[in-house]
Structures are given as structure tokens and as C-alpha cells.
Amino acid sequence: MSDLIDPKGGALVIANARTPNGMPLDLCLEGGLISSFAPRDDQGSPGVERLDAGGRIALPGLIEAHTHLDKNFIGLPWVRNETTSVRAERIVNERRLKRELGVDAGLQAERQLALALAHGTTHVRSHVDVDPEVGLESIKGVIAAREAFRGRVDVEIVAFPQSGCLVWPGVAALMEEALRLGADVVGGIDPGTIDRDPVAHLDLVFGLAARHGKPVDIHLHEPDELGAFCLELMAERTRALGMQGRVMASHAYCLGALPEKRLATLLDTMAQAGVAVMTAGPPGMPAPSVQRLRAAGVGVCVGTDAVRGFFVPYGSGDMIERLARVTERNGMSRDEDLEAAFGLITTESAAALGVPDYGLHVGAKADLVLLEAETLAQALIEPPRDRIVIKGGAIVAGTPA
């Protein structure tokens, strides 16, 4: 990162950029914020650094809304995947692999954060396993990685009971301890099929969240009406606790498999309760329709989920590539739809996750990615390899010409 520019408290002027819809754009970044869009003529002055964006398109730094920093094989020799396709068996297999291979959650988190940053991601929400075997070691590792990347990538940590928290004695206490150590969000998983008691699971998760004043983010793979029932229970608890806008249903496959009338009612319930949805656009699975969620007023965001993970080996860690999977999955082909889709990894995602001071406006955090592309739609279809990434007003990745 030898060519990186850090104004060290001064201003960074970005000249010759373009807006997402292709208009000329000059930005001035000061004090970690976007301070103006006016061209400046004091670019030679002391304390004012200048970057010629060469016509690149400026977007707010990309948001990864759902991944697992603690369990990937990035940078390691290839590990053969010999898992079954049954989720419960995959979870058991994963615990075995973590134990046998001694994968260092902190090191792997750093590797994945470096990959994310190179692709323009400046905010990551990561679920981190809390289970009876790994205890709090993964949480501690990812907290350390978060410190190592402070000022380059913001990391939200979800205390995630991958193996369930009712079926394993002690996991609930570990989750509580994870929140004290620095986890930001209370996780949950399949209240019925994994934890065997939807009401008790959700009461536990929402109870923890309410006591600690934290948001909730639940992996929901439950099928059909079981999934719909769980979403209703989540909406009820969200309203009862006044947690509107702080609850995420991750995956929510059931929303891709419900009859039309049932779907409409459920989405309305979710919109009123302020429960948002994260989708990774899974191929060959039922999945929520982005268009339907948006039309119903349900918040929606995109995550890569696994990147060279233990369950499945797929995933590059590039939010733009993942977004293209989601748009293709949702049948989007028109340029205007592809351009609007970038909201799913920028502004809409920030709203769904509650990321403050985010966007391409004066006063927003100076977190940006500059993309070399003819248009934003082209950037989606042919993701540019070299991206200039700016965090808190300093260039933190990429090589300006």
C-alpha cells in the first residue's frame, strides 16, 4: 500500500470523479467526513492532498451485510469438502473441522477483511460462532481482527449460536459473555429445526438483545409455513420491545416459497414491525424477491455469506460480484434496475443495518470506493479489478495512477 494517501488531519480533494449516474463530481473530505462537493483551488496548499479520480464512479464504501469472518479457508492449502447437504450434519462436521484443523478465527478474519477491503468494502457485519466447543475463542479472535482493521473496515460482530442455544447447555451464557466482550448484535438460528422451540429460542434471543440494548440478526432457513410463523414471532417481539429497524431476518428462504396472499400479509406485518431481510441470492433455493420486499416497504440488504467456507466452498468476497448474483437471481437485466440495485450493498443496506452517517452527501462519513467503469451497470456486469478505497477520508486500498 505504498502509494496510499493519508491527509493526516488535513483535507483530501478528489477531482474528476463521477456520480453513480455518470455526472462530473468533485469531493472534498475533511475530518473524516464529506465536507463539500465544490471544486477547490487551494489544492497546492499545505494540508490539502489531491487525488485525480480519472473519471471513476464514486460510491459510498460497500457494505457486507452478512458473512462469517471466523470460518473460512482463505489463504490456506485447499481443504477437501466432504460434507453432506444436510444442514445439521454440516454443522457437526464444521465443529469437527474447526477442532481438527485448528483454524485460527482471528487470522482468518484478517485475511477475509483484507479481501473485502481490496474489493471496496468498508463495513462488515459478521456472524461469529459461539458454540460449546469453540466457546468464546472465535469471538475473541474476530474482536482482535476488528482492532487490527480499525480505521480501514468497520466490523459489527454478531454473537451467533450456530449449533443452537437451547439444545446446548451453556451457550446462552456464552452469548451474554460475548456481548460483554464486545459483540454488537445478538444472533439466532432456525428456532424450530435447529433449536427445537421457536418461542423459547426467540424469547431468549430478544431477551438478551433487550437487556443489552443490542440489535437482533437471525439466520432463518426454516421452510414454508414454519419460516413464516417464525417471522411473525419475530415481528411480534420487535414491536413489543420497540426494536423497529433493529431486527434482521437473514436468508428468510420461506419468503420465496409462500403463496401470493400469504406472502403479501406477512410482508406487510414485517414492514410495520420494521423487520428487514438479508439475502445472498442463493442459486437453486427459494429466496425472497428483492422487488417484492422493496414494494412492501421491507428493508433489504445483501451479504456474501460464506467465502471459501466450511459448508460450501463458493464465494469470492466481492460485494459487487455477489450483487450481480442477486440481480440475476431476481431477473434484473435493465440498466436502470442494475444501477438501482447498488442500493442493496450501499444505502439500503446501511438503512437495514442501522449504519449511521452513511452515503454520498455532505456530512456523511468519508468512506468511498472509486470504480473504473463506463457506467454503474457495466461495473456490475464486469466488476473492475482495481478499486480505490477511501475510509475516514484517507486512501486505504487500491493504487491511484
CA 345 to chain centre: 8
Q: Using the minimum distance from each CB to a second copy, give the nearer residue, 168 or 311.
A: 311
Residue 254, helix vs strand vs coil? helix
Q: Using the minimum distance from each CB to a second copy, give the nearer residue, 244 or 314.
A: 314
Tell which one of 35, 83, 108, 279 touches a second copy (CB under 8 A): 83
Nearest-approach distance from CB 380 to a second copy, in angstroms: 8
Q: Using the minimum distance from each CB to a second copy, give the nearer residue, 91 or 178.
A: 91
Give start and end residues of each alpha helix (H) in 182-223.
198-212
**204 phi and psi, to 5 degrees?**
-65, -50
Q: Using the minimum distance from each CB to a second copy, give the nearer residue, 160 or 310.
A: 310
Beta strand segments in 177-306, E: 185-189, 216-220, 247-251, 275-279, 300-302
Tell which one of 281, 288, 343, 392 touches a second copy (CB under 8 A): 281
End-to-end CA separation in angstroms for the chain: 13
Nearest-approach distance from CB 76 to a second copy, in angstroms: 10
Cα 56–Cα 59–Cα 61 angle in degrees, nearest 5: 120
CA dihedral (321, 327, 333, 334) in degrees, to 10, reads: -100
Nearest-approach distance from CB 358 to a second copy, in angstroms: 28
Tell which one of 16, 19, 81, 93 touches a second copy (CB under 8 A): 81
Tell which one of 1, 8, 46, 85 touches a second copy (CB under 8 A): 85
Q: Using the minimum distance from each CB to a second copy, give the nearer residue, 272 or 375.
A: 375
Nearest-approach distance from CB 314 to a second copy, in angstroms: 5
Q: Using the minimum distance from each CB to a second copy, give the nearer residue, 24 or 75.
A: 75
Nearest-approach distance from CB 215 to a second copy, in angstroms: 29
**100 phi and psi, to 5 degrees?**
-75, -40
Among 62-70, 78-86, 178-186, 231-239, the segment contacting a second copy (CB under 8 A): 78-86
Tell which one of 147, 150, 374, 401 touches a second copy (CB under 8 A): 374
Nearest-approach distance from CB 235 to a second copy, in angstroms: 26
Nearest-approach distance from CB 279 to a second copy, in angstroms: 12
- Which position has the grid cell 480501514? 152
Torsion 291-297-298-301 (CA) sign? positive
Q: Write each residue from 283 to 322 as x if it is in contact with a second copy (CB under 8 A), else as -, in one continuous string.
A: xx--x--------------------x--xxxx--------
Tell which one of 8, 80, 180, 261 touches a second copy (CB under 8 A): 80
Query: Diameter of the chain by CA atoms?
Result: 65
Task: Give the orientation angle of helix 137-148 with respect to helix 171-181, to 10 degrees.
Answer: 20
Kind and range of the H or E run holding 95: helix 87-101
Q: Using the minimum distance from each CB to a second copy, give the nearer residue, 7 or 281.
A: 281
Q: How far apart are CA 209 and CA 212, in angstroms?
A: 5
Beta bridge partners of 186: 159, 216
Nearest-approach distance from CB 282 to a second copy, in angstroms: 9
Which residues between 155 and 184 bind a second copy (CB under 8 A)?
Answer: none
Which residues between 325 and 354 bind a second copy (CB under 8 A)?
Answer: 325, 328-331, 333-336, 338
Q: Using the minimum distance from each CB to a second copy, give the nearer residue, 112 or 122.
A: 112
Q: Using the minimum distance from each CB to a second copy, give the nearer residue, 27 or 377.
A: 377
Q: Using the minimum distance from each CB to a second copy, give the nearer residue, 74 or 278.
A: 74
Q: Does 47 bind a second copy (CB under 8 A)?
A: no
- Which position has the grid cell 421491507? 298
CA 242 to chain centre: 23
Specify the DSSP class assigned to residue 56: P
Closest CA to 158 of 141, 175, 137: 175
Q: How far apart are CA 5 and CA 399, in angstroms?
A: 10
Q: How far apart are CA 57 and CA 19, in angstroms?
A: 6
Q: Does 82 bind a second copy (CB under 8 A)?
A: yes
Task: List residues binding a second copy (CB under 8 A).
Answer: 77-78, 80-83, 85, 281, 283-284, 287, 308, 311-314, 324-325, 328-331, 333-336, 338, 374-375, 377-378, 381
